[in-house]
């Protein structure tokens, strides 16, 4: 299963890369998340208008429960990756239909950690844009 996670530099106060390892946090438990699932991290920078990149892609190794470090004190789950599958962050182009859908259906609706099982065109767009073979 593929998952989308959003990391906002504005909200978090830092770039995703500053975490230094493939990991994401969730404000909710993710009971359907499994070992080996693929997590796509989309990052919005602090500029106006926001620029988006694929900041990371990794397979789930394990999860941790709180307590977590600041600014993640209010999060309920930490998801750890085995290793990043992405060589470098990939800037995203607004002309892609799948990115428009991701933006309209997830980012603007503040759905920040979601499975993409019913959004195959978004999964395919992420795979093509990143050049990753999964």
Q: What's the pLDDT tens digit per position in 28-85? A: 999 999 999 999 999 999 888 899 999 999 999 999 999 998 889 999 999 999 999 9
Q: Which residues, including other chains, have CB under 8 Å from residue 50's CB and lie 6 or more apart?
A: 10, 44
pLDDT of residue 95: 87
| Total of domains in the chain | 1
Whole-angstrom distance, CA of residue 68 vs CA of residue 37: 22
Q: Report the relative pairing of strands 90-91 and 52-64 from DSSP bridges.
A: antiparallel
This prediction has a pTM of 0.95
- How far is residue 24's CA from residue 122's CA, in Å, rounded to a whole number? 19
Calculate the CA dihedral of residues 13, 17, 22, 23 and round it to 10 degrees. Answer: 0
The answer on pLDDT for 89 being more than 90 is yes
Local structure of residue 46 (DSSP, 8 states): S
CA dist 121 and 108 (Å) reads: 18
Contact 96, 125 (CB under 8 A): yes
Domain residues for the domain of 91 are 2-130
């Amino acid at each position: 299963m593929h998952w989308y996670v959003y990391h906002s530099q504005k909200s978090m106060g830092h770039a995703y890369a500053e975490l230094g390892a493939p990991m994401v946090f969730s404000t909710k438990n993710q009971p359907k998340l499994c070992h080996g699932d693929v997590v796509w991290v989309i990052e919005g920078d602090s500029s106006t208008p926001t620029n988006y990149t694929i900041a990371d892609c990794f397979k789930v190794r394990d999860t941790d429960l709180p307590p977590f470090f600041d600014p993640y004190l209010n999060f309920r789950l930490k998801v750890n990756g085995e290793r990043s599958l992405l060589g470098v962050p990939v800037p995203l182009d607004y002309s892609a239909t799948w990115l428009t859908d991701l933006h309209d259906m997830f980012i603007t609706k503040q759905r920040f950690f979601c499975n993409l099982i019913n959004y195959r065109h978004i999964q395919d767009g992420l795979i093509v844009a990143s050049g990753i073979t999964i």
